[in-house]
Amino acid sequence: MNEEAVADIRSRLEAIGEELADLGLELLREALAQGGESLEVAARQRRLASARRSVLKAAGLLGGSGAA
């Protein structure tokens, strides 16, 4: 497998992880500005956090010393 291509994919996954984190924080800020956090907002934030963890796990797997 082309190591440069894998490194590029890993970098993009890490950037996506950061975007998901930013979206989660923005969602929480908006909820607080509107007077509190609803159950719907909490559920959306949890989904974003879960997606972020999954994306970062994939990036980590690609960066391992034995990645194929």
Nearest CA to 13 out of 48, 61, 45 is that of: 61
Secondary structure tally for the chain: helices H, strands E: 2, 0
- Residue 37: the pLDDT is 67
Query: What domain range includes position 39?
Result: 3-61
Provide the pLDDT for residue 1: 66
Note the pLDDT of residue 49: 97
Q: Does any domain span residue 68?
A: no
pTM tops 0.85, yes or no: no
Each residue's pLDDT tens digit, 11-50:
999 999 999 999 999 998 988 888 876 888 889 999 999 9
Q: Is 66 part of any domain?
A: no
Tally of domains within the chain: 1
